[in-house]
Chains A and B, each alone.
Chain A
Amino acid sequence: MKYIVEMENIRKSFPGVVACDEINFQVRKGEIHALLGENGAGKSTLMNVLFGLYQQDRGEIYLRGEKVNITNPNIANDLGIGMVHQHFKLVHNFTVTENIILGIEPVKALMVDTRSASSRIREISERYGLNVDPEAKIEDVSVGMQQRVEILKMLYRDAEILIFDEPTAVLTPQEVTELMKIMRGLIEEGKSIILITHKLKEIMAIADRCTVIRWGKVVGTVNVSDTNEEKLAEMMVGRKVLFDINKKEANPRGEVLRIESLSVLGSAGTHGLKNFSLRVKGGEIVGLAGVDGNGQAELVEAIIGLRRTDSGKIYLHGTDVTRLTTRQRINSGMAHIPDDRHKHGLILDYTVLENLILKNYYLEPYSRRGLINWDYVYTHAEQVIKDFDVRSGQGAEASARSLSGGNQQKAIVGREIDGNPDLLLAVQPTRGLDVGAIEYIHRRLLEQRDQGKAVFLISLELDEILDLSDRIAVIYNGELVGVVNAAETNENEIGLMMAGGRRGAVA
Chain B
Amino acid sequence: MKTKLRVKKDFLISISAILLGLLAGAGLMAVTGNSPLEGFIYLFRGGTMNIERIGNTLATATPLIFTGLSVAFAFKTGLFNIGAAGQMLIGGLCATAIGLTFDWPKAILLTVIAVASLIGGALWAALPGLLKARYNVHEVVATIMMNWIAYWAIYYIIPQHFKGPFLETESQRIPEAASLKVPWLTDLFSGSFINLGFFLAIVFVVIIAFVLEKTTMGYELKAVGYNRDAAEAAGISVNRNIILSMAIAGALAGLGGATFYIGFASNMQIGVLPAQGFDGIAVALLGANAPWGVFTAAIFFGLLHNGKGFMSAMTAIPPEIADTIIATIIYFAATSVLIERNWDKLKKINLENILRRKKRGKLAVKAGGER
Contacts and interface: CB of A to CB of B under 8 A. Distances in A.
A377 B366 CA distance: 10
A372 B368 CA distance: 9
Contacts of B233: 304, 306, 326, 336, 338, 344-345
A174 interface: no
Q: Is the interface of B mostly helix, strand, loop or mixed?
A: helix
Nearest to B352: A393
Given A350-B223, A375-B366, A375-B368, A326 B230 contact: no
A141 B242 CA distance: 43
A386 interface: no
Given A372-B216, A399-B2, A306 B368 contact: no
Given A325-B235, A358-B223, A402-B2, A346 B230 contact: yes
A106 B215 CA distance: 67
Nearest to A363: B216
Interface string B214-241: 1111011011001101111111110000
Interface in B333-371: 359, 365-368, 370-371
A367 B230 CA distance: 20
Contact of A344 (B215, B222, B226, B229): B229
A394 B1 contact: yes
Interface string B191-216: 00000000000000000000000111
A370 B217 contact: yes
Interface residues of A, number: 41
A371 B216 contact: yes
Interface string A367-407: 10011101101100100000000000010111100100000
Given A326-B235, A344-B229, A402-B2, A377 B216 contact: no
A327 interface: yes
A367 B367 contact: no
Given A375-B367, A397-B1, A399-B2, A361 B226 contact: no
Given A327-B236, A336-B233, A394-B1, A367 B216 contact: yes
B230 A347 contact: yes
Contacts of B219: 354, 357, 361, 372
A343 B221 CA distance: 17
B3 interface: yes
A359 B230 CA distance: 10
A357 to B, nearest CB: 8
Interface residues of B, number: 29
Nearest to B368: A374
Contacts of B370: 397
A88 interface: no
8 contacts: A330-B234, A330-B235, A347-B227, A350-B223, A361-B220, A370-B217, A378-B367, A397-B1
Contacts of A375: 366-368
Contacts of A350: 222-223, 226
Interface in B1-56: 1-3
Interface in A312-336: 325-330, 336
B230 A398 contact: no
B60 to A, nearest CB: 33
Contact of B235 (A327, A345, A396, A399): A327
A346 to B, nearest CB: 6
Nearest to A382: B364
A343 B226 CA distance: 11
B235 A359 contact: yes
Contact of A347 (B217, B226, B371): B226
Contacts of A467: none
Given A344-B230, A351-B2, A359-B234, 8 more contacts: A326-B232, A346-B230, A347-B223, A358-B234, A361-B216, A370-B216, A374-B366, A398-B2
A347 B214 contact: no
